[in-house]
Amino acid sequence: MFDNLLGQDEIVARLSADLGASTLPPSLLFAGPPASGKLTTALELARVLSCDRGPLAGKGLDAPWACSCPSCTRHRVLAHPDLLLLGPRSFPEEIGAALDLLARSPGKASAYFFVRALRKLAKRFDAPLYEGEESRLAKAAPFVREIEERLEAIAPERIEPGTHSTELTEAAGAAAAAARKLEALVPAAPPIFQIRALETWAHLAPNGRKKTIVIENADRMADAARNALLKILEEPPPSVEFVLLSARRSALIATILSRVRPYTFAPRSAAAQGLVLERVFRLGSSSWEHGVPDIAAHLRSRRPFPPAAARKAAAGFLMAALEVRAGRTALGPALEAFRLRLAAETTDGEGARSLDGALAALLEATKDFGQRDDAFADSFESFLAAFAELLGEALREICLSATELELVGSWARAAREARSRRETYNLSPTLLAEGLLYGMAGS
């Protein structure tokens, strides 16, 4: 039980004690930083509560991950009808890492990881969450069907270690492609209609022993959805376990905090992160980024447009604007030093770059911000994040004059405005990037 949760021994001990003493409350809060195992624990708890050999079956705490009971078989691939999963999540990172793992080390373990990564997304579109709102599923349904059809070829129980086949590779690639389209349809926060729908579902009898509702990033809920959830938590049905996940416990309102039992996930130690990277991702120390075990960094590196690529693109973007300005009038000493630093970072041998060249390089690196490849659909946000990080470094680490400080501050405001206009009005990221670049250059 909980043998697939690494590096959180205190959490395992607490949950095991609560299950053994039958003192597990109906509503829990798993709070802790990203990549600390919160969702893994929630899904494992859901399996244990349904297990034919588990505590609710009167069999003590004997509910191993490899249990062969029908309930556990379905829970391992996240296909159990007694599990609801909702809330926003960064899917490209885990799906990219799962695709990479399946290609490098095909076998049952990597197949389970891949299937679960895809179903974590697909389950956001389970029918019970859209009761009375079925029309909202129309756009998502084809992608969900595509994912499920492709996953049939990646059934973990049929895959042997070292299995390599064209069918497996094609199925995984097609499933990941469908997932990229589906992710765009995931609500940014659980809408109120889903909270009302899950309340109806919660009062129906479970298929097995216990239903589990997992809400990721529960702190992001809007007021209406949060208030609707609060009413359910006041009198939860006895056959349902609620598990709220959050990386920002302080952002949850006091009335919700008073109705859940908190379990605090500490950041995993370097040794624990190394263990996860080795056992789960099959990565030795020679593969760790910068030689340091960091699960979050590994996941980010699996994005089609990873942080390193985003930073290089942002550095070239900034350098082009600075060089155009330097061609008209001398930069201040601090900004000149910053320009030279950016030139060293790009290391592409191109030297000075025109504004048009910088824009063309950015569009090529991002496949026109996803227009030519859906995998890069979130590249505009990644680019802006890297851009903001570079400006932040300039503000923190370089002694800017008052004039230089105002200039860099205006660039930061322009970037925030570009993000806001993209989110609010869905404007073209290409036009927004072009406007940002030429505005920075004073053109």
Q: At what angle do helices 355-365 and 429-440 cross, to 10 degrees?
A: 150
Domain presence at residue 285: no
Number of domains in the chain: 2
Do 263 and 337 belong together in one domain?
A: no
Do 225 and 338 belong together in one domain?
A: no
> Of residues 353 and 330, which shows the higher confidence score?
330
Please tell me the predicted confidence (pLDDT) of residue 184: 86
Please tell me the predicted confidence (pLDDT) of residue 351: 45
Please tell me the predicted confidence (pLDDT) of residue 201: 97
Do 274 and 314 belong together in one domain?
A: no
Domain presence at residue 247: yes
Percentage of residues of the chain with pLDDT beyond 90: 77
Domain presence at residue 80: yes
Please tell me the predicted confidence (pLDDT) of residue 162: 65
pLDDT at residue 349 greater than cutoff 60: no
Which tens digits make up the pLDDT trace of 376-390?
A: 988 999 999 999 999
pLDDT at residue 78 greater than cutoff 50: yes
Domain presence at residue 371: yes
pLDDT at residue 168 greater than cutoff 50: yes
Do 67 and 164 belong together in one domain?
A: yes
Neighbour order of strands in the sheet with 83-86: 83-86, 211-215, 240-246, 27-31, 261-264
Distance (Å, whole) CA 239 – CA 206:
7
Domain presence at residue 380: yes
Please tell me the predicted confidence (pLDDT) of residue 347: 61
Please tell me the predicted confidence (pLDDT) of residue 160: 73
Do 313 and 233 belong together in one domain?
A: no
Do 184 and 71 belong together in one domain?
A: yes
Domain presence at residue 196: yes
Question: Which CATH number belongs to the domain containing residue 271 in this structure?
Answer: 3.40.50.300
3-state secondary structure 209-260: CCEEEEECCHHHCCHHHHHHHHHHHHCCCCCEEEEEEECCHHHCCHHHHCCC
Do 271 and 388 belong together in one domain?
A: no
The residues, any chain, with a CB within 8 Å of residue 417's CB and separated by 6 or more, are none
pLDDT at residue 214 greater than cutoff 50: yes
Residue with tokens 């009413």: 231
Do 393 and 256 belong together in one domain?
A: no
Which tens digits make up the pLDDT trace of 24-43?
A: 999 999 999 999 999 999 99
Which tens digits make up the pLDDT trace of 235-287?
A: 999 999 999 999 999 999 999 999 999 999 999 999 999 999 999 999 999 88
Distance (Å, whole) CA 67 – CA 47:
10
Predicted confidence band of residue 101 (pLDDT cuts 50, 70, 90): very high
Which tens digits make up the pLDDT trace of 293-327?
A: 999 999 989 888 999 999 999 999 999 999 999 88
Do 22 and 87 belong together in one domain?
A: yes
Please tell me the predicted confidence (pLDDT) of residue 345: 79
Domain presence at residue 381: yes
Please tell me the predicted confidence (pLDDT) of residue 330: 84
Cα 32 to chain centroid distance, Å, stands at 15
Do 360 and 264 belong together in one domain?
A: no
Domain presence at residue 239: yes
Provide the domain limits for residue 130: 9-279
Do 70 and 189 belong together in one domain?
A: yes
Do 238 and 333 belong together in one domain?
A: no
Predicted confidence band of residue 443 (pLDDT cuts 50, 70, 90): low
